[in-house]
Chain A
Amino acid sequence: MKSVNTLFLSPNLVRLPLQRVAITVASFVLLGVWFVSVTVVGISGSAFIPVDSLAEERQFVPLSAAPLAGTNEVFVQIQSAKLRSEPKFWGPGRADLKYGDRLERLKEEAAWINARTTNGVQGYVHNSVVTARKVVLSQGSFAVDPSANGSDVVMAGKGFSKEVELGLRSREPALDYGMVDELERITVNSDQIARFIHNGGLTGSKELTLALPVDEQRARREKGTGR
């Protein structure tokens, strides 16, 4: 399916952004392609377009991206992540990233950041992986380092931290941290999620689409189960 950003609508052949299009009930099938009638907010007239094009409209559902403007330096704010070769949740990883790693932000593509590690490896991370605040890794007390420059800095291990959790556990031994640890051991990796999306026929946004390995695609075609 190619990406559809605009439509040409009869009778006026007006070029319009898809967000302004409303789907109506009329539809027909021509040469195996299902067309539906669409109308445009604020303009009289309607047109028939292939249903597949409308599916692409889902890419335009607005998302509030974390603003990182104003700095070319970003820091990994989660335990671990991968620098990906494409702006997608899966696919080949180019580098393993860990909490506090510094990245050079090269450019942003929607919610993805094209970035370079200090070792010179370039790839993509989702903007929720990183923060524009400087992450300072530190050892010792949960007390705050006085050199920390206010809200521009994240002090790893400070505030509500592992250390304070240990204090809480000794304060309230009844808290079931053992079960929390056990539940955290049940994990789902990104490959499992990718396969789950594919097998469930979830035709979501482009970031979620999965290119199955070639041999698996072939096997599915042979079995007649390919989509």
Chain B
Amino acid sequence: MTGNYRSNACCRGATVRAFLLIAVGALSACSLTSSNPLVRGGKALLSATGYTPGGTTFTVEKPPPQQAASISEEQEYYIGRAVAARVLTLYPNIPLIPANFENPVPARAPAKVIPAPERSLKEGATARVRNYRALVTYLSTVANVAAFSSARPYLFSGYRVVLLTSDTINAFAAPGGFIFITTGLLNILPNEDALAAVLAHEVAHIVKRHALQQVSGKRFDALLARLGELYGALSCNEALAEASALMDQVVGEIVTTLLDKGYSREQEYEADHEAALILARAGYDPQVFELVFDRLDQAFVGNKSGWFATHPSNLDRRAALASLFVGSPGLSATPQAERGVARRALRFEGEIRQTSGR
């Protein structure tokens, strides 16, 4: 075992003594993490004030800030990347060619003349890649405006939007700044302010670390305790395999929440609330949520999938936001914001029509 350990690249140069110290460190880290209420999940973690559908206000305890920050920005980013990697296996039709894509043509193959129909197909594919990049840049810019108006404008590697090719109406956010929106949802949005409302809602989930809260506390504690034992008992390779398995499970739970289970109603209301504040700070019209709910209502055809399966009813969300607007005059649209709406709607039309052919 010791030989394995010494020869392993990830633990190079370590001694048996250091190994024991690391094992102790790993175990102490486990106990620290297991006492971290961030990953305990559940309603006790919700912050701020939310609203029940009837309009009655409820207040729940805010988590202590130090505990909320226990998972580092770096770790959140790597969890987010893993969530994104899994989501992309479920939505494979992204018109981009990954850099590590295996080129089927051998490097020394003689250049061949591409027949005309094939060439136009290739040109079409190139245009799709270019359009996809342009559209994602636009969406990511709107998301970044929202992020700059939030309490967490900077993440380990920033915010970015991924456009998923799917008719299902949906949008969701992974930890670490990955925001997903489907072409189905984008196509029913009327203007940039409505788009900003959807993206601000997703930014709010990231700001509040809702995805990380979904990992059940008990489960997380047990997995980490097991990982702590493994550091002391196995070679570095085996410990790494277990750590990867743990990450896999965490990612699985988050993806299930994002795509199937949805967040709690309270977390959704909290994200709406935060999104309205974000829109107001950015200069977008917070009242545009009404328009978004209208479009979602129109698009609902009785099939509770995507957004409709993972979010409270629009009726309830309208009621919750209405309570917020009544109590917050700062969330009324100012004439300045209204003047800008038309300019932004034009920009939105230009971006969407040029790039998606809508």
CB nearest to A174 among chain B residues = B89
Closest to B19 in A: A143
Closest to A167 in B: B244
Complex Cα gap A52–B190 (Å)? 28
User: How many residues on chain B are close to A (CB under 8 Å)?
Assistant: 95
B133 at the interface (CB under 8 A from A): yes
B332/A186 in contact, CB under 8 A? no
A157 and B74 form a contact (CB under 8 A): yes
Q: In chain B, residues 192-231, which have Cβ atoms closer than 8 Å to a Cβ of chain A?
A: 192, 231
Given A193-B145, A207-B148, A199 and B158 contact (CB-CB distance below 8 Å): no
Taking a contact as CB atoms under 8 Å apart, the answer to whether B84 and A180 are in contact is: yes
Across the two chains, which residue of chain A brings its CB closest to B13? A140
Inter-chain CA distance A185–B157, complex, in Å, is 11
In Å, the complex CA distance between A67 and B244 comes to 33
Q: Is the CB of B81 within 8 A of A208?
A: no
Chain A 197-215 interface mask (CB, 8 Å, partner B; 1/0): 1011111110110000000
Residue interface mask B298-331, A partner, CB < 8 A = 1: 0000000000000000000000000000000111
CA of A164 to CA of B280, assembled, Å = 40
| Min CB gap B356→A, angstroms | 16
- Tell me, rounded to whole Å, the shortest Cβ–Cβ distance linking B256 to chain A: 16
Query: Given that A78-B154, A179-B98 are contacting pairs, would A168 and B141 also be in contact in the complex, using a CB cutoff of 8 Å?
Result: no
Q: Do A171 and B144 form a contact, CB below 8 Å, given A179-B88, A183-B96?
A: no
Q: B-facing mask of A71-103, CB < 8 A → 1, else 0?
A: 000000111010000000100000000010000
A49 within 8 A of B: no
Q: Is A145 within 8 A of B25, CB to CB?
A: yes
Distance between A185 CB and nearest chain B CB, rounded to angstroms: 8
Contact B330–A144 (Cβ < 8 Å): no
A133 contacts B69, CB within 8 Å? yes
Given A89-B153, A163-B240, A176-B85, answer yes or no on A140-B148 (Cβ-Cβ < 8 Å).
no
Contact (Cβ within 8 A) B98 A182: yes
Residue of B nearest to A163 (CB): B10
Residue in B22, B32, B78, B337 whose CB lies within 8 Å of A143: B22
A146 with B22, Cβ < 8 A, contacts A54-B334, A186-B137, A205-B281 known: yes
B140→A186 contact, CB < 8 A: yes
B151 at the interface (CB under 8 A from A): yes
Q: How far, in Å, is A2 (CB) from chain B's closest CB?
A: 15
Q: Identify which of B92, B99, B142, B280 contacts A182 (C-beta below 8 A).
A: B99
Instruction: Collect the chain B residues with CB atoms within 8 Å of residue A142's CB.
Output: 10, 240, 243
Chain B, Cβ-Cβ closest to A175: B85
B58 within 8 A of partner (CB) = no
- The docked-state distance in angstroms from the alpha carbon of A165 to that of B10 is 13
In the bound complex, how far is the Cα of B245 from the Cα of A94, in angstroms?
A: 43
Would you call B72 and A159 a contact (CB within 8 A)? Answer: yes
Q: Does A161 reach chain B (CB closer than 8 Å)?
A: yes
Which residues of B lie under 8 Å from residue A63 when comparing CB positions?
A: 150-151, 277, 281
Name the one of B75, B236, B335, B337 contacting A161, with C-beta atoms under 8 angstroms: B75
Contacting A at CB under 8 A, from B57-100, are 65-67, 69-75, 78-79, 81-82, 84-86, 88-89, 92, 94, 96-100
Given A61-B277, A179-B88, A202-B284 contact (CB < 8 Å): yes
Q: Are B154 and A145 in contact (CB under 8 A)?
A: no
Q: What would 14 more interface pairs be, CB under 8 Å, given A128-B153, A144-B25, A183-B160?
A: A55-B336, A79-B156, A128-B152, A131-B72, A140-B12, A143-B22, A144-B29, A157-B74, A163-B10, A164-B240, A164-B247, A203-B283, A203-B337, A205-B282
Q: 8 A-B residue contacts at CB 8 Å? A: A23-B332, A61-B277, A129-B154, A160-B247, A172-B248, A176-B85, A182-B97, A203-B336
Give the 8 A-B residue pairs with the shortest CB-CB distance, closest first: A201-B340, A178-B98, A167-B244, A146-B25, A202-B283, A204-B283, A176-B88, A175-B85
Chain A interfacial positions (CB closer than 8 Å to B)? 19, 21-23, 34, 51, 54-55, 57-58, 60-67, 77-79, 81, 89, 99, 111, 126, 128-129, 131, 133, 140-148, 150-151, 154-165, 167-168, 170-172, 174-188, 192-193, 196-197, 199-205, 207-208
